[in-house]
């Protein structure tokens, strides 16, 4: 179960029209459902008109592997629960933008009500011994709601974003309700040891909870809840396999030829202020200023997908990106040749991998990020062993990928220097670093991640639970 289904649903004559949704959670979790079956409970991206019926069907339609169970929201619930509490309060707080957090009781009320609705949907689908797998910060109250009604059901929770230190989290008047909600689970997973530690330290503020930091466990209401560090992986075979296809290699060559510069840099992000896109563009400008020898020789492709467009901060970041692209192209372009190519649309897997293959360096430089799958996707796609990953130390992925070129997105010159290092690095060093990165990303791929979750709960084995809802 996750806030969003992997499809956006639109009513259409003769049934519903489904369109693929883009985002880290969908990319990461859907392959597990495709392999294991189950039911995905989530919101379909539309608000409910009176009399509207939720969609409940098997997908993918051409070769069904699992079911989707739509949770319908009214426009008011959507504003309060999704844009309000989840995205304007929990999201900035967790990414340490504490001053941006909008803390409003009516948003919290909507959040509670919608979490109840999701819990009811989980209960409708929960069969004895089958796992309820709850994803992310939108649904923190669901584990306790499900536990209340069905103490026998195994529940796992995965927190996909950073978990902040107690000083930030406890700003929330309802922090303890959220902690108690999460502790309805049997196991809770985080991407990094820092997030798990922050969570355990925060749980100490919950009356009645006993924390064993060493063991990564909490004793609460007579149950032991395990807290695990499980950085999510990418579907290695899908990225590596796509990158080996001749048509994709040819497409990468065509991209390089069409751009016509010897060097290409790439950024791929949802348009979110946490991703540091304006900061990255400023650093690219600083790099061109500091190294005029690269002018006319580097193209920076920034691919973005619009996200949460109703929230003012997201409109603002989009405007800032557009302004920065215009400014850089005006200052550093010569009319025909422009240094920044800005593309706002979803890419197919093939097109994404062709871009990864075409780029000399990927700039993955968020101000803060739970993990960041783009970093791992880039590495998994570099079957040629070339390419450099420039990575922010504030992405959870940095804990696993020390062979990347680390650069601080808060300091424009540090990031500019990281770009220069990546482009000027000698091919042998690039090869060594990429080989080490590929080994790590392959060893900790999506299969590994799911196996860890499964062994943690001992699900999928005879006589124990199997995946049911994700």
Contacting residues toward ligand ADQ, per CB under 6 A? 22-25, 27-28, 160-161, 232, 268, 270, 303, 305, 346-347, 352, 369-374, 377
User: In the complex with ligand ADQ, which residue's Cβ is closer, 161 or 328?
Assistant: 161
Which residue minimizes CB distance to ligand ADQ?
A: 24
Under DSSP, the state recorded for 88 is I
Do the strands 210-212 and 263-270 form a parallel or antiparallel pair, or are they unpaired? Answer: unpaired
Alpha-helical regions (H) of 85-135: 91-94, 105-125
Least distance from ligand ADQ to the Cβ atom of residue 371, Å: 3
Q: In the beta sheet, which residues pair with residue 42?
A: 70
The residue among 160 and 332 lying less far from ligand ADQ, judged by its C-beta, is 160
Find, among 40, 111, 25, 29, the residue nearest to 70 by Cα. Answer: 40
* Closest CB to ligand ADQ among residues 279, 369: 369
Please give the DSSP secondary-structure letter assigned to residue 106.
H
In this complex, which beta carbon is closest to ligand ADQ, that of residue 22 or of residue 103?
22
Quote the least distance from Cβ 344 to ligand ADQ, whole Å: 8
User: What's 337's DSSP letter?
Assistant: -
CA 56 to the chain's CA centroid: 25
Q: Which is nearer to ligand ADQ, 374 or 407 (CB)?
A: 374
Q: Which is nearer to ligand ADQ, 132 or 371 (CB)?
A: 371
In the complex, least distance from residue 397 CB atom to ligand ADQ, rounded to whole angstroms: 7
Q: Smallest distance, Å, CB 375 to ligand ADQ?
A: 8
Least separation in angstroms between CB 297 and ligand ADQ: 26
341-to-258, 324, 328 alpha-carbon distances in Å: 12, 12, 10
289 to 284, 292, 332, 462: CA distances (angstroms): 9, 6, 9, 63
Closest distance between ligand ADQ and the C-beta of residue 283, in Å?
19
**178 or 398: CB nearest ligand ADQ:** 398
| Shortest Å distance, C-beta 27 to ligand ADQ | 4
Residue closer to ligand ADQ, measured from CB, 24 or 80: 24
Q: How far is the CB of 352 from ligand ADQ (least distance, A)?
A: 5
Q: Find the helix packing angle between 373-381 and 427-443, rounded to 10°.
A: 110
**CA-wise closest residue to 138 among 197, 229, 71, 46:** 71
What ranges in 382-466 are assigned the alpha helix state H? 412-424, 427-443, 446-457
Q: Which token pair is 206?
A: 């919950």
Return the number of the residue (218 or 353) whose C-beta is nearest ligand ADQ. 353
Which residue lies nearer to ligand ADQ by CB, 109 or 237?
A: 237
Of 83, 116, 130, 74, which is closest to residue 102 (Cα–Cα)?
83
Least distance (Å) from ligand ADQ to the CB of residue 94? 9
CB of 135 to ligand ADQ, least distance (A): 9
**369 SS3 class:** strand
User: For residues 381 and 251, what is the distance between their CA atoms, to the nearest angstrom?
Assistant: 14
Min dist. Cβ of residue 470 to ligand ADQ (A): 13
The residue among 282 and 373 lying less far from ligand ADQ, judged by its C-beta, is 373
Q: Which two tokens stand for residue 113?
A: 């009500």
Instruction: Please state, in angstroms and rounded to a whole number, the distance separating the CA atoms of residues 407 and 286.
Output: 14
Determine contact, residues 300/339, Cβ cutoff 8 Å.
yes
How many residues comprise the chain? 470
Distance from C-alpha of 166 to C-alpha of 164, rounded to nearest angstrom: 6
């Amino acid at each position: 179960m996750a806030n969003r289904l992997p499809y956006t649903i639109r009513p259409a004559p003769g049934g519903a029209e489904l369109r693929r949704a883009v985002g880290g959670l969908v990319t990461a979790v859907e392959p597990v459902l495709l392999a294991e079956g189950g039911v995905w409970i989530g919101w379909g991206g539309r608000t409910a008109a009176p009399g509207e019926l939720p969609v409940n069907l098997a997908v993918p339609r051409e070769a069904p592997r699992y079911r989707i169970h739509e949770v319908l929201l009214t426009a008011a619930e959507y504003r309060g629960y999704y844009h309000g509490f989840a995205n304007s309060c929990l999201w900035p707080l967790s990414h340490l933008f504490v001053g941006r957090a909008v803390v409003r009781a009516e948003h919290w009320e909507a959040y509670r009500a919608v979490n109840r609705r999701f819990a009811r949907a989980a209960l409708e689908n929960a069969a004895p011994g089958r796992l309820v797998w709850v994803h992310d910060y939108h649904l923190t109250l669901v584990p306790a709601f499900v536990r209340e009604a069905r103490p026998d059901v195994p529940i796992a929770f995965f927190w996909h974003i950073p978990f902040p230190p107690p000083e930030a989290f406890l700003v929330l008047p309802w922090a303890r309700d959220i902690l108690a909600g999460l502790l309805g689970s049997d196991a809770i997973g985080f991407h990094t040891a820092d997030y798990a530690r922050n969570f355990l330290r925060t749980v100490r503020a919950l009356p009645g909870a006993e924390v064993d930091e060493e063991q990564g466990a909490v004793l609460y209401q007579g149950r032991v809840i395990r807290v695990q560090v499980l950085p999510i992986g990418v579907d290695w075979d899908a990225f590596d396999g796509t990158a080996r296809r001749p048509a994709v290699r040819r497409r990468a060559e065509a991209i390089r030829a069409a751009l016509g510069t010897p060097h290409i840099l790439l950024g791929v992000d949802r348009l979110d202020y946490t991703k540091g896109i304006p900061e990255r563009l400023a650093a690219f400008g600083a790099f061109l200023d500091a190294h005029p020898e690269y002018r006319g020789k580097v193209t920076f492709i920034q691919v973005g997908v619009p996200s949460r467009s109703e929230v003012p901060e997201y409109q603002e970041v989009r405007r800032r990106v557009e302004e920065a692209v215009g400014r850089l192209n005006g200052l550093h372009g010569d009319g025909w040749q422009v240094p920044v190519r800005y593309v706002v649309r979803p890419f197919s897997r093939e097109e994404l991998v062709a871009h990864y293959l075409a780029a000399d360096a990927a700039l993955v430089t968020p101000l803060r990020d739970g993990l960041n799958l783009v970093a791992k996707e880039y590495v998994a796609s570099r079957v040629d062993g070339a390419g450099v990953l420039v990575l922010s130390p504030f992405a959870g992925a940095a804990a696993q990928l020390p062979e990347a070129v680390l650069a601080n997105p808060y300091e424009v010159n540090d990031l500019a220097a990281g770009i220069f290092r990546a482009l000027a690095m000698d091919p042998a060093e690039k090869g060594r670093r990429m080989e080490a990165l590929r080994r790590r990303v392959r060893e900790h791929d999506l299969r590994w991640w799911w196996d860890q979750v499964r062994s943690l709960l001992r699900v999928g084995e005879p006589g124990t639970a199997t995946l049911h809802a994700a």
